[in-house]
Amino acid sequence: MSIDHRDYDNALERRTTMHDQTTNYSADEAAIRDLFRQLLDAWGRGDGYAYGALFTGDADYIAFDGSHTKGRREIASSHQQLFDKYLKGTRLTGRIESVRFPSPDVALVHTVGSTVMRGKSKPSPERDSIQTLVATRSDGGWLFAAFHNNRVRPIGRNPATFLIWALTDLLWKVFAPRRKDDA
């Protein structure tokens, strides 16, 4: 999979699958697209608390490395720590690939994106990711209830990409912290 690195911060593409063709979800889709734009903007400002405010109180957040953060407060706090240190001055780029409404108050959102590191003008291919988000509607509007981020790491295109994938897997096995149940 190749990610188009044009700047989609202000021009998110519209490709939507509707759950019920007789129901008009255009206002809901616009609200969800705006929510995603707010996510990109909060990241760009380095504002973990604004970023976390876009999630439900009990949201599940799976980062690219498989770490699992639960709840708005933890999402906000952990992102503020990242923005203050490792991700200071970075910018998130992304676009919505699809929005689907399995029910009137739930939307399944697929996005692609990347991170532009401090001092760079475009994202590096090794940061390409694909995300699945679940947005839910409550009295206050739409918020994200789940976010799952996965780096794009296809294997098997050719022997070299398979070797790189296998090598990183081996390095992880050797150097990764042990889980409690593996001890």
Q: DSSP string spanning 67-86?
A: -EEESHHHHHHHHHHHHHTT
Residues 70 and 110 reside in one and the same domain: yes
Residues 120 and 164 reside in one and the same domain: no
pLDDT tens by residue, 128-150: 899 999 999 998 899 999 999 98
This prediction has a pTM of: 0.78
Average pLDDT over residues 117-124: 91
Residues 146 and 161 reside in one and the same domain: no
- Within-domain flag for 82: yes
- Within-domain flag for 21: no
Task: Give the max Cα distance, the chain.
Answer: 55
Domain count along the chain: 2
- Within-domain flag for 17: no
Residues 56 and 142 reside in one and the same domain: yes
Residues 140 and 164 reside in one and the same domain: no
**What pLDDT score was predicted for residue 156?**
67
- Within-domain flag for 118: yes
Residues 146 and 163 reside in one and the same domain: no
Q: What is the span of the domain harbouring residue 133?
A: 26-152
**CATH number for position 63:** 3.10.450.50
Given the DSSP bridges, would you call strands 141-151 and 68-70 parallel, antiparallel or unpaired? unpaired
Indicate whether 16 pLDDT > 80. no
DSSP β-bridge partners for residue 131:
111, 149
- Within-domain flag for 56: yes
Residues 158 and 145 reside in one and the same domain: no
Query: b/e for 10-35, b at 16 or more Cβ within 10 A?
Result: eebeeebeeeeeeeebeebbebbbeb
- Within-domain flag for 175: yes
- Within-domain flag for 11: no
**What pLDDT score was predicted for residue 64?**
86
pLDDT tens by residue, 53-85: 999 999 999 998 889 999 999 999 999 999 999
Residues 146 and 159 reside in one and the same domain: no
- Within-domain flag for 160: yes
Mean residue pLDDT of the chain comes to 85
Q: How far apart are CA 171 and CA 176, in angstroms?
A: 8
Average pLDDT over residues 97-113: 96
| CB atoms near residue 105 (< 10 Å) | 12
CA distances (Å), origin 137, targets 52, 76, 122, 142: 16, 20, 34, 4
**What pLDDT score was predicted for residue 51?**
98
∠ CA 126-130-131, rounded to 5° = 135
Q: In which band, very low, low, confident or very high, does the pLDDT at 22 lie, cut at 50, 70 and 90? A: very low
